Amino acid sequence: MLSRVLTVLAVLLATFIYRSGRLVKHGIFTLPALPSSYYVNGDVHTHCTILQEPAHTLDYCEDMTFWDHLDAGGTVTARFIIAGCDPNRKAWNTVMGPLRNPEPRAYLWLVDTVDNSLQRIELDGYPEEHNFHPLGMEVTPSQDGAPSVLYVVNHAREETTIEHFTISPDTPTQALWKRTLSSPWFVSPNALALTSETSFYVSNDHLMTRRLPFPLAPALPLVESIAGLPLGWLAHVTVNPDGTITHEIAALGVAFANGVAISPDGTTLALSSTSLGQVYFYDRNMTTNALKYRETVSLPFFNDNIMFDEKGALIVTGHPHFPSLIAVAANKTDARAPSWAVSLTPLSNKTHFAKSAHAADRKYDLRAPLSVSEVVPASEEWEVETLFQSDGSVFGTSCTTLRDSRTGSLYMVGLYEEGLMVCRP
């Protein structure tokens, strides 16, 4: 019996290495030669600062999103960040483990992008008996002072749910709880991309989760991740007036489906496949929300969360060395895990290559200490540029980066990092 199990695991591992040999070499077997810090627009020590909170509740943040305040004409008059931070992540992480203790609750924070001021958001009306461990989140803009709708993936004790709140510019530090969305389809919700105030895409990262009984967990989820099994998926969810949901599969067969984002014009959807170090791009029907696969771009790391900026560039953040991330999560002495964030900018229609091989062989991202082109070949459709790198000594375990196209400012959080980093040109 044991020999059969080992044979299956060997086959799965060989398949994964065949599909993602470069990523396995550079992201598992080799510690990337990253600098202590690199920021594309200048010296990290003079251009970047790490926002921290004395009680350490602005730690271990997994996701964040811009919250825009618009005037009646739709112009942005103020921009804030809402971040979900869980200082208890090393005791409760339904994706990586462990599942020891879901107490205490995690936190939502409001960050002013003008002066970096911090305010904690209280969950008004949230049931006392409910756990709160935020993962993916997104909020609608506030139009002319009207309340916004905020959805947050919640990895609670018994199941993973999606919490529905409203938040208003008049009381920006209060998120009014409306309802908890629960469904058998919510096997492993991870990230969100809103399509309206009552609908969104949600990724499910695993079919086999850490919630399975022992010994199925942690063994099966680990096999699914390591082997890059295409068992994750993306769904589109509509919230009906009575609080029920309509669930539709949008994309199947995605290994570790993670971050999801919609382009500013609404016609393109991007989806992270973390296990394979790839981003999938889909053409999106804006009327039906149906998706049609278009292309894949490989990354030099295990990509986590993603976002489009206003100019249509996709900002991708990830983990360059998975064993280091595991060591940090396990609280190993002196462990640190590196960070890497890149931008993917669409190449001009005027850019042509004689052959696909010419595009793949070209060198690019040459300003970065460790160029992306040292790890993965160039894309024919997207220009990839490093925005930030660190070996973990300055800022580690990067999982989400936002870029404000108006100011050029960069905001980064780390899965097991203390604080929120802000870099300004």
Residue 90: count other Cβ atoms within 10 Å of its Cβ. Answer: 17
The answer, yes or no, to whether residue 355 has pLDDT greater than 80, is: no
> What is the percentage of the chain residues whose pLDDT exceeds 70?
93
φ, ψ at 14 (rounded to 5°): -65, -40
Note the pLDDT of residue 348. Answer: 78
The rounded distance, in Å, linking the Cα atoms of 312 and 269 is 11
How does residue 226 score in pLDDT terms, banded at 50, 70 and 90? confident
Chain centroid offset of residue 119 CA: 23
The answer, yes or no, to whether residue 224 has pLDDT greater than 60, is: yes
The answer, yes or no, to whether residue 35 has pLDDT greater than 90, is: yes
The rounded distance, in Å, linking the Cα atoms of 19 and 32 is 20
Note the pLDDT of residue 360. Answer: 66
The answer, yes or no, to whether residue 160 has pLDDT greater than 90, is: yes
Rg of the chain over CA atoms, in angstroms? 20
Note the pLDDT of residue 26. Answer: 79
Whose CA is closest to 305, among 313, 292, 294, 315? 315
The rounded distance, in Å, linking the Cα atoms of 378 and 372 is 9
Residue 24: count other Cβ atoms within 10 Å of its Cβ. Answer: 19
The rounded distance, in Å, linking the Cα atoms of 158 and 225 is 22
How does residue 357 score in pLDDT terms, banded at 50, 70 and 90? low
The answer, yes or no, to whether residue 28 has pLDDT greater than 80, is: yes
What's the predicted TM-score (pTM) here? 0.94
Note the pLDDT of residue 350. Answer: 58
Note the pLDDT of residue 6. Answer: 65
Q: Which of 227-231, 282-286, 349-353 has the lowest mean pLDDT?
A: 349-353
310-342 confidence digits (pLDDT tens): 999 999 999 999 999 999 999 999 999 999 999
How does residue 11 score in pLDDT terms, banded at 50, 70 and 90? low
> What is the percentage of the chain residues whose pLDDT exceeds 90?
89
The rounded distance, in Å, linking the Cα atoms of 133 and 94 is 10
The answer, yes or no, to whether residue 192 has pLDDT greater than 70, is: yes
The answer, yes or no, to whether residue 141 has pLDDT greater than 90, is: yes
How does residue 352 score in pLDDT terms, banded at 50, 70 and 90? low
Mean local confidence (pLDDT), 343-361:
71
The answer, yes or no, to whether residue 169 has pLDDT greater than 60, is: yes
How does residue 56 score in pLDDT terms, banded at 50, 70 and 90? very high
408-419 confidence digits (pLDDT tens): 999 999 999 999
Note the pLDDT of residue 187. Answer: 97
Q: Assign 65 to helix, strand or coil.
A: strand
Residue 425 preceded by cis peptide, ω within 30: no
